[in-house]
Homo-oligomer: A and B are copies of this chain.
């Protein structure tokens, strides 16, 4: 299968790393291409950024369908424009949140999310409410690092581990979800660090989760319901 990853930011500096990362999660037969946005923002850290990125995400999604991709992953924890994109195309579309959170539901009694900044908490709270996962929700914590600072892997990793331990000890979390797709390639290592501290709790990477759920959907020929996501009617549009 052939999947398109849309990085919903206006820079190509992450493209290569994301491609490598996504390939590391994929089954061998899966082919992956990555594209970034022409219009939008440098990073997504709230409702405002999501709205600005929206139209070009739709454009890139439609392009992926035209090019014959089997599915589209919008590589962002906040699932920006995911539902709109599903109205627009006939191939499955996934973001990071839904994918990660439904795996979290399966793996334990209570989950915490560790994200970047307090700005995204209301957005995450809305996604929890919409997915109906509040009954297993322990907390959202943040490491107070903007997305564009996440290249400082050591600081990020240390901060994540610290907040994860707090989530377990203070909030009663049993499952940890990385709350930003920029926190790439750390889930396994963080799980090991937690285990060393006596906490054998899974750590879910939202990009990895999206990749596997997407492979599952494509492989089973499943796609969003067209009774929910109806095709937009023809009408005048200016963008």
A180-224 CB contact bits vs B (8 Å, 1 = yes)? Answer: 000000011001000000011110110011001101110111111
Q: Which of B40, B129, B230 is in CB contact (< 8 Å) with A135?
A: B129
CA distance A51 to B86 in the complex (A): 12
- A93: min CB distance to chain B, Å: 10
Shortest CB-to-CB span from A169 to chain B, Å, is 11
| Contact present for B237 and A222 (CB under 8 Å) | no
* A67 contacts the other chain (CB 8 A): no
> Is A66 at the interface (CB under 8 A from chain B)?
no
Q: What distance in Å separates the Cβ of A181 from its nearest Cβ neighbour in chain B?
A: 15
Interface size class of A (residues with CB under 8 A): 35 or more
With A200-B227, A216-B213, A221-B188 as contacts: A105 and B102 at CB distance below 8 Å: yes
Contact of A42 among B87, B236, B239 (CB under 8 A): B236
Chain A interface (Cβ < 8 Å from any Cβ of B): 10-11, 25, 27-29, 38-43, 45-52, 54-55, 57-58, 81, 83-88, 94, 98-99, 102-103, 105-110, 117-119, 121-122, 125-126, 129-136, 146, 148, 168, 173-175, 187-188, 191, 199-202, 204-205, 208-209, 212-213, 215-217, 219-230, 232-233, 235-239
16 A–B contacts from the bound complex (CB under 8 Å): A27-B219, A38-B238, A41-B236, A45-B233, A48-B88, A51-B57, A52-B239, A55-B55, A103-B217, A105-B131, A107-B222, A107-B223, A108-B228, A173-B227, A209-B216, A216-B216
